[in-house]
Amino acid sequence: MSMLKLGIPSKGRLQEQTVDWFGERKIAVQRTGSDRQYSGKVIGVEGIELVLLSAGEIPKELAAGRIHLGVTGTDLVQEKIAGWQNVVLEVEPLGFGHANLIVAVPAGWVDVVTIDDLDAVAAQFRSEHGFRLRIATKYHGLVRRFLSDQGVADYQLVDSQGATEGVVKNLTAEAIADITSSGATLQANGLRILADGLVLRSQATVFASRVAEWDTGALAGLASLSQKTGWDIDGALR
């Protein structure tokens, strides 16, 4: 009989807020060993094994069924898991880790205010330069679907895994699609969010894997957790 595996972020503010969230519900989530060790324990409920992972790894582990529950961002789940609604169940948004995935252009593009404006500029850009307008992002799936829904065609996505806000200044892209909380970093880099350029609102959320093995041990752990969290998802996972 297996234990329920709960994956939480391994470091940073997201880990701290996750630990606090469980603590408010009388569930102590603790790392065991040093900060370099990715193991931990859960005190206050029975039958739970804690797994410490990067926020970006948690969607992959949920999709593979190697963890039963995981705390990560909405953006990461929707980007990394194809057909995510069939693979994971959204259990509860946690009210922290808020960020928006947006499309932003250089502030000097005064006539580009909306996605329709971007579409017009993209067509003109290709005509003038002989290649498509480049949009730097690490969220290829989400951004491609968003722009397709908006009817934007003359663009190419450029992969950016680093400081995306800096690519326009570095002349490696003409626009960006990235996560932002306050918008201050965008402003500091001479960028402006399009008026209708919101792709996704994201926050830290508990997700349950639909493909993990929910045997009697895992379900017992879920029942123990649910007594303190108020979750009622047993039926949706059977």
Q: What is the pLDDT of residues 96-119, one digit of tens each?
A: 999 999 999 999 999 999 999 999
Beta bridge partners of 8: 52
pLDDT for position 164? 81
User: Quick one: what percent of the chain has pLDDT higher than 90?
Assistant: 83
What pTM, to 2 d.p., does this model score?
A: 0.91
CATH fold of 99-202: D-Maltodextrin-Binding Protein; domain 2 (3.40.190)
- Average pLDDT of the chain, as a whole number: 93
Q: How far apart are CA 172 and CA 175, in angstroms?
A: 9
pLDDT above 80 (res 68)? yes
Distances (CA, A) of 110 to 191, 212, 235: 11, 50, 53
Task: Judge whether 12 and 19 are in contact, CB under 8 Å.
Answer: no
- At the fourth CATH level, the homologous superfamily of domain 4-97+203-237 is Periplasmic binding protein-like II (3.40.190.10)
Distances (CA, A) of 97 to 29, 59, 179, 205: 18, 16, 11, 9
Domain ranges of the chain: 4-97+203-237, 99-202
Q: Tell me if domain 4-97+203-237 and domain 99-202 are identical in fold.
A: yes
Q: How far apart are CA 25 and CA 227, in angstroms?
A: 10
Q: What is the pLDDT of residues 1-35, one digit of tens each?
A: 589 999 999 999 999 999 999 999 999 998 775 55
pLDDT for position 22? 97
**Which residue from 236, 203, 238 is spatially nearest to 85, judged by alpha carbons?**
236
**Which residue from 29, 27, 31 is spatially nearest to 45, judged by alpha carbons?**
27
**Which residue from 195, 16, 201, 217 is spatially nearest to 115, judged by alpha carbons?**
195
Averaged pLDDT, 202-226? 96
